[in-house]
Amino acid sequence: MLNQMIVNYTESGWEIITQRSHGLLAAQICAHWNKADQGRYWVETIVATAEHDDVYNEFENQDLITTQGGPLNFKMTEFKKDYATRLMQMAETKGAWIALLVSRHIQFVHGEDPKALTFITALKKREKLWMKILSVSPSEISSAYRLLEFCDAFSLLICKHAIQPEQRKMDISTGPDREIYTVWEKSEQVLVVDPWPFELENFKLSYESRTIAQLCFKDVSEFRKIFFDTPAVLQELIIKKAKSY
């Protein structure tokens, strides 16, 4: 599950963004989507985007550092049935639409993992019940999930500092309209998206990160204490329409 913190190695040490901060950034992106294309259950879509991987607070468990003592990055985690079950229970008790989108996310992330096959098969069967409750079609759910996945992918690119320098264009993901969206860095902390899917011609995004100078930790308790003793820093950036600058 992509329910672990995002870890970047920098000149100043480990930069860490929690899963919930990344999810909140994805929800900010979603909230700025063109109003004419927002679709039904819009509030639920934003909530699902914010919470699509909130199976647990990673700092409540022991999966925080590697065997070498460094912080565990989200890419190092794998499918765990107990976590996926808890995530789906949380989603379903919030609402059928959220359950559908989270279900699609689990399928998207773990669809090729043999360990997840039985779990995903059961999810697909349960989706029929949720769609019946809401009277929605599979295509409507698929479109909404493509939006969630786009926002998730864009947030990850930002949090991982993966946007290419020198105005080199790169794909974000496919949006709900099956359009492929591109991003490039116009200047420091200013990103341009094309084609433009948002309501406003430019808007601000933000997320929090912590940078820890210590590179190795003797145990999880030490890492957890240092993390919470480290003040968060607000990271801000501007998203602009290609013709608006």
Q: Which two tokens stand for residue 185?
A: 């860095």
The structural domains of the chain, with segments of one domain joined by +, span 6-163+212-237
Q: From CA 206, how far away is CA 103, in angstroms rounded? A: 27
As a whole number, mean pLDDT of residues 46-65 equals 75
Amino acid identity for residue 20 in this structure: R
pTM for the structure as a whole: 0.92
Q: Give the three-state DSSP class for 111.
A: coil
CA distances from 221 to 4, 154, 229 (A): 17, 32, 12
pLDDT in tens, 185-210: 999 899 999 999 999 999 999 999 99
What is the band of 39 on the pLDDT scale with cuts at 50, 70, 90?
Answer: confident
pLDDT at 1 over 50: no
pLDDT given for residue 3 in this prediction = 52
- 87 vs 131: which has the higher pLDDT: 131
Q: Give the three-state DSSP class for 230.
A: coil
**DSSP secondary structure letters along 165-199:** STT--EEEEE-TTSPEEEEEEEETTEEEEES--BS
